[in-house]
Amino acid sequence: MVRYRYPRYELTSKSDDIRGLCGDALDLLGIAWRPNGPWRISVARREAVTALDEHVGPKH
């Protein structure tokens, strides 16, 4: 099995409102995201992570 390691962003919140605000903001920025489980939003595509890095700064 090949494992890939790459940066990604995840938001975890049980609040539908918080997840909705996050998704709406990402949509406004044109950043691809998707739900990942019942309480998580994931930004994992390479170009989406790069775009989010430009707005919030790269992860360390």
Read off the pLDDT of residues 1-50 as tens digits, 9 standing for 90 and up: 777 777 899 999 999 999 999 999 999 999 999 999 999 999 999 999 99
pTM of the model: 0.84
Domain with 16, as residue range(s), is: 9-56
pLDDT at site 36: 93
- Domain assignment present for residue 42? The answer is yes
- Domain assignment present for residue 23? The answer is yes
- Domain assignment present for residue 4? The answer is no
* Domain count within the chain: 1
Task: In whole angstroms, give the CA distance from residue 18 to residue 16.
Answer: 6
- Domain assignment present for residue 33? The answer is yes
Task: In whole angstroms, give the CA distance from residue 15 to residue 28.
Answer: 20
pLDDT at site 59: 67
- Domain assignment present for residue 3? The answer is no
Q: pLDDT band at residue 57, thresholds of 50, 70 and 90?
A: confident
> Over 70: is that where the pLDDT of 53 sits?
yes
- Domain assignment present for residue 18? The answer is yes
